[in-house]
Amino acid sequence: MQLVEATLPDSKSRRARGKWFETTQGVIYVVDGSVQFCDDFDHWKNAFCRLLEISDEKARAFIEETARFAQEHFGQQLQRLSDDQKIACVAEATTRVLYGGARPSAKRIEPSWGTDLWGAPPDTVFAHSVSGHRERFVVGSKPRQFAWLIDADTGKPVRADSIKYDDAYFGSGGNAHYGMKHYVAQSDWRLEKARRLVRTVLENSGARQQHFLDHPKKTNVLDVGSGLGYFRKAFDELGYPHYGVDLSTYINRQCKEMFGFDAWDCDFAKLNEVVGGMKFDIITMWELIEHVEDAMAAVKQMTEFLEPGGILVARTPNLNALEFDILGDYYYSFKFEHVKYFSPQSYDYIMTAAGLQRIYVETSSHLFKGVLGPNYLYQAGQQLRGADILAIYGH
């Protein structure tokens, strides 16, 4: 979807002068007695503020600017605008509050920036920084909807093996735009999210769906990049035998302490050394492939461990998301450790090249539900413009 170009109305347009309230409905912004924004407390804190990595005060300023722009440029209250006009307002608030008033100008493409999955050089600078941090930027192919991370100092792609998955990465704080902040402390909602996603996978798993649902004890699951074990716990509760592999010795110890699960302690590229002759009915890669240097090789390797009729599940940020159109550099999925970026289109390419066929794909968004509403975000998800891709592939 294209962002609407707003035009100035006549001088009678009014500026938003609103008030904030905290009620049983959540966090509410009201202008002239009309609700312009409403978000539940948990989403406001653990999604809107957390993902954008901004304070409560700055988040409120963001919403205020969104409403102010609606009256300045469209002459109406925010919630009376069309969806496209609301998106234009949120994009302008991004420019004013997050960028500080102006978005960066285009960079010249450099030959040192590497090539895409097809061996072609980049044609687009997707982000000139990572949320304002110019040590990294994102380039890639717009037609093919694939991108990768560049180190500004070297002018070269960031290597996956340069990222250290230690206690600092998984710790409670972590650096801005890097790491799994509050990964353990937020265990309640992270586990509930894992349960929801596991149910979605099982209910959309193709020809063997009924077998997977009816015979959990005969369905082996391998979680690649298993982390603390939230998804393994979700499968465990349903009775599925499950195994995990993660290259982080630190997080494997934490997984054992929290859930009692052992995990293979190695890079998944060496998985054949520990798995032996085992095969799996379901292999999952939750938020993993964006961390991988050679996604094509990784997927091909995973197919070697799939049982006939087995499925490969992968979840990753969507480069072709509505949120990227709005936020640009401040798209929260641009992070220092995400070395590659995909869309459903480029996802299909690497999966089919590995001999797999699409069984199911969905995208989902929620960040701007307080402005755009759930129906619009649902429609964006149906158009594969949601911020997160969940895809299932099989032979």
CA–CA dist 263, 245 (Å, integer) = 5
pLDDT digits (tens, 9 = 90+) for 182-240: 788 888 999 999 999 999 999 999 999 999 999 999 999 999 999 999 999 999 999 99
CA–CA dist 151, 153 (Å, integer) = 6
| 123 within 8 A of 327, measured Cβ to Cβ | no
Nearest to 111 by CA among 145, 144, 139: 139
- pTM of the shown model: 0.92
pLDDT digits (tens, 9 = 90+) for 296-320: 999 999 999 999 999 999 999 999 9
Residue pLDDT tens, the chain, 395 long = 444 443 434 333 444 579 999 999 899 999 999 999 999 999 999 899 999 999 999 999 999 999 999 999 999 999 999 999 999 999 999 999 999 999 999 889 999 999 999 999 999 999 999 999 999 999 999 999 999 999 999 999 999 999 988 888 887 565 678 888 778 888 899 999 999 999 999 999 999 999 999 999 999 999 999 999 999 999 999 999 999 999 999 999 999 999 999 999 988 778 888 888 899 999 999 999 999 999 999 999 999 999 999 999 999 999 999 999 999 999 999 999 999 999 999 999 999 999 999 999 999 999 999 999 999 999 999 999 999 999 999 98
Mapped to the 3 state alphabet, what secondary structure does 206-246 carry?
A: HHHHHHHHHCHHHCCEEEECCCCCHHHHHHHHCCCCEEEEE
| 258 within 8 A of 284, measured Cβ to Cβ | no
Place of tokens 């090539």: 115
Q: Which two tokens stand for residue 233?
A: 């716990």
The DSSP output letter for 122 is P
pLDDT digits (tens, 9 = 90+) for 320-343: 999 999 999 999 999 999 999 999
For 95-117, give the DSSP string.
IIIISSS-PPPPPPP-GGG---T
Nearest to 127 by CA among 377, 323, 367: 323
CA–CA dist 308, 282 (Å, integer) = 11
